[in-house]
Every structure is written in C-alpha cells, then in structure tokens.
Structure 1
Amino acid sequence: MLGIARRGLRLTTGLVFGAAMAVAELPFVVLSGFSLLLVLAWPRGRRAVLKPVTTAARALTETNRRRLRGYFSADTSDTYADHRMLQYLSLRWSLGLLGILVVSAALIGTAYGIAWIFFLLLGEVRYPLTLATSSIGGLFLLFLSLQGSFGVADLETKLARRYLGPRHQEELERRIEQLATTRAGVVAAVNDERRRIERDLHDGVQQRLVALGMLLGRALRGKDEMRADQLLRQAHEESRQALTELREVAWRVYPTVLDEAGLRAALETVAERSAIPVRLDYDLAGEPDTAVATVAYFVVSEAVTNAVKHSGAGLIAVRVAPGEAGVLVRIEDDGLGGADASGSGLFGLARRVAALDGRFRVDSPAGGPTIITAELPCA
C-alpha cells in the first residue's frame, strides 16, 4: 500500500511538471503551425522557419523525455525523426492539460475529504449529514483522480513511445544485447561459485580429512593403548569438525530448507546463524517461485555475511516485501559503510539478480548505513 501511494505521488509530481510544460507547448504548437503554414509554398522560407522550430521542439522534447524517465520510468529512443518529434508535441500539450485537471480534482477531493476535521476544530457542526456526505464525496473524488493520474501517466508513456520510439527493431537489439550480457554474467558467476566451492573443500574439509587419516594411521601403528585411545578421540573430533564444515559448504551451495520449508524459513535460519543480530521483516503473502526465492535467499545470505565480516555493524535489518514488479529485498546495516559494489561478492549478487531481469543497487556512503536493494520480477 505504501509503495502504491509513493508511486502515485511520483506520478502526480510528473503530471504537474507536464502541465507546466503544456503552458509552453501550446503556444509553441500554435505559433509554429501558423509560421509553417505561411511559408508552405516557399521552400527557402520553409527551411528558414524549420530550423528554429526544430531546435525549440527538440529542447521541449528532451525535457519531456527526462520527465518521463524520472517520474514515469519510461525510456524512449535517443534517435527520432524531426517530423515525429513535431507530431509528438502537437498532441502532448493536451495530455498536459488533462494532467492538471486530474491534479486539480485530487486537490478538491482532498479539501472536501478532510473538511470535517476543520469544522470539528473550529466550531459547532450544524449540518452533520451534509458534512459527512461532502467528505465521502471528496474522498471518492480523490480516489478517482488518483486512478486518473495512473491513466494519464500511461497515456503519456504510450504517446512518447508511439512517436519517439524506441522502434521494435531497437527494442529487439537492446534485448539481445542485454541477454548476451546476462548470459556471460551467469557463466562467470557459475565459474566463480565453482572456484569458491573448490577453495572451501580444499582449505577446509580436505585438510580435516587428511588430518583424520593421519590420526587414524598413527592410532593403528601405535603400541600404546592409552596413546591410541587419545588419537582416536582426536580423530573423532576431526571427523565431527569435517562433517560440520561439509554441512556449511553444502548450505552455501544450496540450502535444503529452501525447498522443504520455503524462503521465510531459510531466511530465519540465516538470521539465527549470524554473529550480528538480524531483524527479519517478511511480508510476502505467498511463496515466490523457485528461481526468485533462490536469488532472494542468496542476496540476503551474502549481504549478511559481508556485513558480519566488514561493516562493524551492531544490527542488520532485512525486509522482504511485495514490490512494484515482484519481490523487493532490502538489507540495511548500521555499520561504517564504504562497501565496494564492484567487489566479488556484491558483483556476483548483481549478476544473479540481472539473470532474472531484476535490478540491484548498493548505497553505502562513508560512515554508513549500507543499504542493498534487489527488485526481483515475478512471472
């Protein structure tokens, strides 16, 4: 609910700026159209008029493109024809005026919706039924206008993409490039994971097993029963340590609890095993699909591990909740900050998230806090 309200506020701000743009666009469209009409049959005059018209039109169009990208998350092509740009501006101003109507309706609805508070504070209410009716009507108007803001924003996006692109071929080329990059990242991530597993087995479990074999060999060759008993006890301890480390390696490769009990139980296990207190806020109503749950788990696990090793934090807050496009994973610690997003651990997480067409972001200013965010789309 909070995410929807935040998005609605962002869209409304974008519509307000769009309305301000319409104030400049409408006179520009009228004057440009009239000027071009006057020189329609005069080629030299038409070229002379078109130059300043296209220059001004490009400035207005680029401003709109930045607005659409910043407030509506709508990307358009950098390359568009001049005549498509002029067609776009000849229609865009009407959506700007529609946007200001929607915003005005929202303000009126808000005023009527909260009017009863001021009446109760300022004096006696003589017509409570009328006040209640107007408040309900105002809240209903506010609801409709907020829905209208989503509709106008969608129209703005469709209009820009219709006239400014990107073209279907450009979309396909961009997608192919993105998939090629993602595939290369996945292959690199898999190779990094294999090397990490090999190091864990070589430096941990393998050394334990070598020590275990040596202890057992000494016990078998020894003549002193008391010494042999002592060596067997040491061998038993080494076998226990080797089993613990093997379980740790298996857990880091893939936790079975993720399949057996779900994402929440797996994250609770990460919190329990952490040397720093972890506060888990899990708001998903259902279980995400296996791919999303796996990536979400590894994002949290690796982020918590990094915080324990490097941040000097006293508390780690983990939140898993519905996002705009799927699942939002957010990890924040109160440590010293300065985390390197290009480091092997975080860079590997970024590649895991990119493999699902998700978004990964690290904010870690000097002095903290460090905030790691992953947005994972759901099918």
Structure 2
Amino acid sequence: MAKNNVQQVFMTRRDDMICIHEPFGDAFYYGPERLGSRFENDQKAREESGFSTSTYKTIFDRIENDGKEGKRVFIKDIAYYLVPPDGQQPAIAPSLGGKRVKQGVGTNGETNGVTNGAANGKTNGTTNGTTNGTNGVSNGTNGTNGSSNGTNGSSNGIKTAPFPYDTDPEPGNPTVVPTEILKKFHFTFLIRHPRYSIPSYWRCTIPPLDKLTGFYDFMPNEAGYDEQRRIFDYLREQKQIGPAIAGRHGKLSEGEVSITVIDADDLLDDPESVVSAFCREVGLEYSPKMLNWDTPEDQKTAVEAFEKWSGFHEDAINSTSLKPRDPAHKKKAKSVEVEDQEWREKYGEEAQKIIRETVNANIADYEYMKSFCVKA
C-alpha cells in the first residue's frame, strides 16, 4: 500500500501540484507500441481499456499539457513500463523519434520530434519498482513466464507483439525513451522487499481479485527490480542523479540531483521523517497536513486516480492517513521455511514454488537499491 500512499501524500497538494497515476502502463500494455505481452492475445481487452491508441508520445504530450497549468507535476509510475521485458535489446519508441534501422548501418537513435516532459522542463517524475508489476527476471536470465500469452518478440519465428521495434537504441540506455526526455524529470525510487511485493502481486492475479484487475496470470517478468536497477544505474552513469545520496550531500554537477531512494517499510514505520526528507530533496515545503486525506474531496480524488487499475489499490483508496505503523506490526524477517509454509497454506504448493523462485530472483537487485536509501 505504501507506494500508493506516497502518491496520496502529494494528492493533498491540489493547489500547487498535479498527480498522474501510472500513465505509462497504457502504452506498455495496450497501445500500438506495447512492450508487454499480457494482453497480446486479447484484442478486446486492449480496446475496452480505452488506451489501445496510447503511444509513449501521447503520454508525454499529456504530461506536458498538464504542466502548462503552472503547477508542478508528480508522476507515480513503474520502472518496467519503460524497459523491454526479458532482457531484450532496447530501442527508442517510434513515436518518440526513434530512427528506423538501416540495413547494415548502425545509427545512434536521434530524438527528432521529441516533446518536452513538462512546462519549463520542471516535471517531478517518480519511478516505482514495487508490487503492481515488476520483473522476476534478474539480469534477463532468472524466472519464467507464468502466462499463457507467451513473451514479446517472436515465438517460433512469428512476431507476437509490436516490440521489438525496427528502430535503433541509444548506447547504454535501457529504456525506449530518449535520454533527452529522461533528463526532463527528477527521478526518485520507491522500493519494497520482494518477499512482500511478490506475494502481494500474486494475490492480484488469482480469484477473487483477478476479476477486478483483469490480470489472470502471474508473470514473473513483471517484477521490475532488474529494470529499476538498470534505469537507476543509467541515470547515475549519465550524471542525472548523484553522486550524493539523499540526506548525505556531496558535490553535485550542474543539472544533477541527489540519489533519492525510499524503502516502503521505512516510510510506513516513520512517515513524517521520510516524507519530510523526500520534500527536502525535491524542493518542496513539507507540511504535516500532507499525511492526512480524510475529506470527501480527498477521497474523490483518490478514487478517480486509481480507478483505471481496479483491484490493485483498494487498500489505498480506503485509507485516510499515513501514520507510523504500530511497533507490534513492523515487518519482522521470517525464515524461508516459515514464509514458504505461509505461502503454501494461502496459495498452494505450485504457487509457493513460483513465488519463492521469483522472490529469490529479485533479492540481489532490491538489496543493491537498499544500499542507497534515504535515512530518516
């Protein structure tokens, strides 16, 4: 729930901020540039989503348009929506100016026709590698796909999804978005241990929640930890973030921001310290009022923001504040044996094996990101 509570914190600032909830999933799952294969064999679902014509450019255009109101734009989204799954070679999305590959000639993926990320280039983008889809593939090798829909690219020589595009990649860039667009955003990262996020996501892909979410298969390649780490490392390499870690300031080059990573458990244990630290990093004035959203208008805003991903956010919609978790309810590490038994009792023997494999495939990436976390 913490990942959506972060968004609700900033949704309380309607006077000076606009919050956009997971826009890039529209292009990733449903549009003509889709990377995900979840709905590849379900054209009806893609059309009924209302996003079957969404491209990465139409989403950036919307962000730019929202920014014209003069308010700061906060985007809560998931890292893997920008990265081809299963370790596939990235290429720049055609709608974002990706150059067509010339036979026998390597080009550098210029960014003609690219739109600005927001008015005056001051969009506050937040990427999130937690539960609502994440990639169980570690470095493109571990994990298997639990979906009957197959994978992107080709199957037996037959192309099954729009990706791979016939466009060039940018050297080193793991995403389908040109670096010049990525530079328009101030990225922060919210992480959660896979032992919590993976079972939570599994629950959204089985009865009764699957009828709400429309996700009828668990796909380990939607875990997102590998993709989040690769985006994170690329932004560091490009000096878009770092080298200083949030709260431990060092020398930053012009245009850089400090490395800002937040662990969901830290947020739930001490929300005031973590949110106020986050505000300092992104240049916002913190107010304790941000931790409460108990008015009818607050609730209406939350329902409208989360409704397109029904079934994933019910706990967040029903919440009214972000208070420190009771010490008795703090997450305490359990042994592998205890976890396995709990998952076996809740979901069955086969499910327990898949959950464990997916958790194990992502721990290293989580622990890597954890080493950069904000200290409350």
TM-score band, normalised by shorter chain? under 0.3
- Please identify the structure whose Cα radius of gyration is greater: 1
Which gives a bigger RCO, structure 1 or 2 (Cα 8 Å, sep 6+)? 2
Bigger helix fraction = 1
TM-score normalized by the length of structure 2: 0.25
